[in-house]
Amino acid sequence: MPERRVGLWLIGALGGVGSTTALGLAALRRGLTDTTGLVTALPQFSGLDLDEPSAIVVGGHDVRRGSLADSVATLARRIGAFDATVVEACRADLEEWGENLRPGAVLNGGDAIAALADGPNRPQPSSPRAAIDLLQNDIRSFRERHRLAQVVVMNVASTEPAADHRPEHASLERLQPALASDRGILADSSIYAYAALDLGYPYVNFTPSPGASLPALIELAEHRGVPTVGQDGKTGETLVKTVLAPMFARRNLRVLSWVGHNILGNLDGRVLSDPRNKESKVRSKDQVIGQIVGYPLQTHTSIEYVESLDDWKTAWDHVHFQGFLGVRMSMQFTWQGCDSALAAPLIVDLARLTLLAQRRGEAGILQHLACFFKSPLGVAAHDFFQQFELLESYLRSARNST
């Protein structure tokens, strides 16, 4: 057992991504799976002081009733792709970590999320300030109970509707007084982000929800000396788009239009079938091509809920482009990914890299992690290769300074 133990606090722990991350960590710890899918297992990450997956203790919040072990078992049955013996062998770890789960907060996450919440009763906080106090208490006592050197808070909860811009979001000085009196001042994801950063715990936003993206919360991260990063994990269709678009750009082939249709059937898809929640996701997925090719073009991204597909997100993309002598051509691809299995190893990567950054004294936005996100905070580039170069140059400097 490693000496330094760290915590991974999952907001939305019972969801597909949260459950698969917990299963993956337990399977890694027991040597029942290998590190395929983990970016931090690539050779260029060796020699860094990253936490071993076996050093990570899981806890979290959710607004739905249920146990972590049962959520994993149900997901495994639905997906039909996890090895049943691995799921069974990990059950004891999942039951143990399930004891660390606490009811989450739903003040301001929109109707689609409020409809999900059937978690155990606990008095609903009267204000964002009261919610922050409750959430901080849960996370702090998790750290103390397990004697954890650090805890990283990871948002893998349902996607919220886009947040209204409020003048109070501009600075910490303006935000703080409103927390006690204005119930609608922050989206739930930003309440969690505030709770984490104010405690001095790194906050990672794997969703398109606002989270720590507000100027006041970036200021809080810098003020407390804590790293933060987001947002919206780049795991499937958008990953392919940001790898392919640079090819068209570098061959000077003019992209005329790029249309992507996505269909999925899991709980995430159900929440995204509410147009207000869907808008945040579509915006995040649709912006990338124009930025990479450097000129305006017609793009369209759709996301539809097709229940029978469950976690097997399927995307069909049509790229219309023009070559020499005005010749028009097209390219199409189909992507069929198991969403939770694509996301889970990246959650482990982000936890390891964010905890490392905190030990190295880094604070504010971690720009070198842009390649993990569809809408990277603080980085304009969407080109996957440019983003990966940011990570590699960080690794070089981290290695030189050890």
Ligand X SMILES: NC(=O)c1ccc[n+]([C@@H]2O[C@H](COP(=O)([O-])OP(=O)(O)OC[C@H]3O[C@@H](n4cnc5c(N)ncnc54)[C@H](O)[C@@H]3O)[C@@H](O)[C@H]2O)c1
Dihedral sign, CA of 91, 92, 95, 96?
A: negative
- The order of strands in the sheet holding 312-322 is 298-305, 254-264, 312-322, 328-338
How near is the Cβ of 55 to ligand X at its closest, in Å?
A: 24
Token pair listed for 7 = 């915590």
**Rounded to an integer, what is the distance from CA 295 to the centroid of its chain?**
29
Token pair listed for 191 = 């309440």
Q: Where are the alpha helices (DSSP H) in 163-214?
A: 172-181, 188-199
Question: Stretches 32-40, 227-235, 240-248, 288-296: which one binds ligand X (CB under 6 A)?
Answer: 227-235
The correct pick among 21, 40, 100, 158 for binding ligand X (CB under 6 A) is: 158
Question: Stretches 39-47, 92-100, 137-145, 156-164: which one binds ligand X (CB under 6 A)?
Answer: 156-164
How near is the Cβ of 376 to ligand X at its closest, in Å?
A: 13
How near is the Cβ of 250 to ligand X at its closest, in Å?
A: 27
- Whether the ω angle into residue 231 lies within 30 degrees of 0, i.e. cis, is yes
The DSSP symbol for 233 reads: B
Task: Report CA-CA distances (Å) from 319 to 297, 314, 322, 323, 375.
Answer: 11, 17, 10, 13, 21
Return d(Cα 243, Cα 225) in angstroms, integer: 33
The correct pick among 235, 242, 262, 375 for binding ligand X (CB under 6 A) is: 235
How near is the Cβ of 156 to ligand X at its closest, in Å?
A: 5
Token pair listed for 241 = 């788009």
The correct pick among 266, 301, 354, 358 for binding ligand X (CB under 6 A) is: 266
Nearer to ligand X by Cβ, of 7 and 236: the residue is 236
Q: Which of 113, 32, 44, 79 is nearest to 342 (CA)?
A: 79
How near is the Cβ of 342 to ligand X at its closest, in Å?
A: 5
The correct pick among 7, 12, 265, 364 for binding ligand X (CB under 6 A) is: 12
> Applying CB under 6 A, does 230 fall inside the site for ligand X?
no
The correct pick among 6, 8, 14, 25 for binding ligand X (CB under 6 A) is: 14
The correct pick among 98, 104, 128, 345 for binding ligand X (CB under 6 A) is: 104
> Applying CB under 6 A, does 282 fall inside the site for ligand X?
no
Residues whose CB falls within 8 Å of the CB of residue 68, separated by 6 or more in sequence, listed in order: 13, 14, 19, 22, 58, 94, 95, 97, 98, 101
Token pair listed for 143 = 């750290």
How near is the Cβ of 215 to ligand X at its closest, in Å?
A: 22
> Applying CB under 6 A, does 156 fall inside the site for ligand X?
yes
Specify the residue for token string 């609903």.
124
> Applying CB under 6 A, does 340 fall inside the site for ligand X?
yes
The correct pick among 159, 228, 242, 358 for binding ligand X (CB under 6 A) is: 159
> Applying CB under 6 A, does 157 fall inside the site for ligand X?
yes
The correct pick among 7, 61, 345, 351 for binding ligand X (CB under 6 A) is: 61
Question: Stretches 59-67, 93-101, 132-140, 247-255: which one binds ligand X (CB under 6 A)?
Answer: 59-67
> Applying CB under 6 A, does 232 fall inside the site for ligand X?
yes
Contact between residue 201 and residue 7 where contact means Cβ atoms under 8 Å apart: no
The correct pick among 51, 138, 168, 188 for binding ligand X (CB under 6 A) is: 188
The correct pick among 7, 24, 98, 109 for binding ligand X (CB under 6 A) is: 109
- HEC letters along 256-316: EEEEEEEEECCHHHHHHCCHHHHHHHHHHHHCHHHHHHCCCCEEEEEEEECHHHCCEEEEE
Question: Stretches 40-48, 210-218, 229-237, 315-323: which one binds ligand X (CB under 6 A)?
Answer: 229-237
From residue 287 to residue 326, what is the string marking binding to ligand X with x (rule CB under 6 A)? ----------------------------------------
**# chain residues binding ligand X, by CB under 6 A:** 36
Q: Is 171 helix (H, G, I), strand (E, B) or coil?
A: coil
Q: Rule CB under 6 A: which residues touch ligand X?
A: 11-12, 14-18, 61-64, 104-106, 109, 113, 116, 156-159, 188, 206-207, 232-233, 235-236, 266-268, 271, 339-340, 342-343
